[in-house]
Amino acid sequence: MIPVTQLRKGVVFEEDGQLWRVLEYEHYKPGRGNAIIRTKLRNLRTNSTVSRTFLSGASVQDVRLDHRTVQFLYGDGDYYHFMDVESFEQPMLSAEVLADVIPYLKEGITIDLELHEGEPVGIEMPITVDLTVTDAPPGYAGDTATGATKQVTLETGMKLDVPLFIETGDVVRVDTRTGQYLTRV
């Protein structure tokens, strides 16, 4: 059991027989009384999202997830297929479960698959990924004083704001937590 004050974004816990992942976390302390912990949770089995409020002092059952190294093979629209690099098994996850990370998945990328009691429940992306720019409009520097950007398309179909000097064919590093451009590789 862990106290709800230790919940943070990404933590997985079990309650009422369901697995929940914390998407958002806010600790609120009113002038009087106990602190309130407001969370936004995703059910890992049904993929539904709910808002939940806990009172300070409550506890939830923490869950340990197993991690396996897998390689992304392909997506067919409804499901995304991976291959375990040790056993060569091919688990798959639905597009609903992976909705937040689909823009960062490119064929051949190695990532960690999260398992609970042998059942795949999600993936853990690296902090950054390197993606190739497939379409970039020309960047014209005009009356810009600071930080001019343009929108480009990456190999995964993701749209990204980058500096004007990025061109088609460049490889850029993207932060998977924020979805922002970091640097040209």
Q: What is the DSSP pairing of strand 66-75 with strand 79-84?
A: antiparallel
177 confidence band (pLDDT: 50, 70, 90):
confident
Report CA-CA distances (Å) from 65 to 15, 31, 82, 119, 154. Answer: 15, 38, 18, 10, 32
pLDDT at residue 23 is higher than 60: yes
96 confidence band (pLDDT: 50, 70, 90):
confident
pLDDT in tens, 24-73: 999 988 888 888 999 999 888 888 899 999 998 899 999 989 999 999 99
> What does the alpha-carbon distance between residue 29 and residue 32 come to, in Å, rounded to a whole number?
8
Please report the pLDDT score of residue 172 as a whole number: 96
User: Taking all residues of the chain, what is their mean pLDDT, rounded to a whole number?
Assistant: 89
Please report the pLDDT score of residue 143 as a whole number: 55
Q: Are 39 and 53 in contact, with CB atoms under 8 Å apart?
A: yes
Q: Are 141 and 163 in contact, with CB atoms under 8 Å apart?
A: no
pLDDT in tens, 126-172: 999 999 999 999 877 665 667 788 899 999 999 999 998 899 999 99
Please report the pLDDT score of residue 47 as a whole number: 82
pLDDT in tens, 3-16: 988 888 888 999 88
Please report the pLDDT score of residue 85 as a whole number: 93
Q: Are 43 and 37 in contact, with CB atoms under 8 Å apart?
A: no
Answer positive or negative: Cα dihedral of 51, 160, 79, 86. negative
pLDDT at residue 101 is higher than 70: yes
Longest CA–CA span in the chain (Å) reads 59
pLDDT at residue 185 is higher than 60: yes
Q: Which domains does the chain have, with CATH numbers?
A: 2-62 (2.30.30.30), 66-124 (2.40.50.140), 128-184 (2.40.50.140)
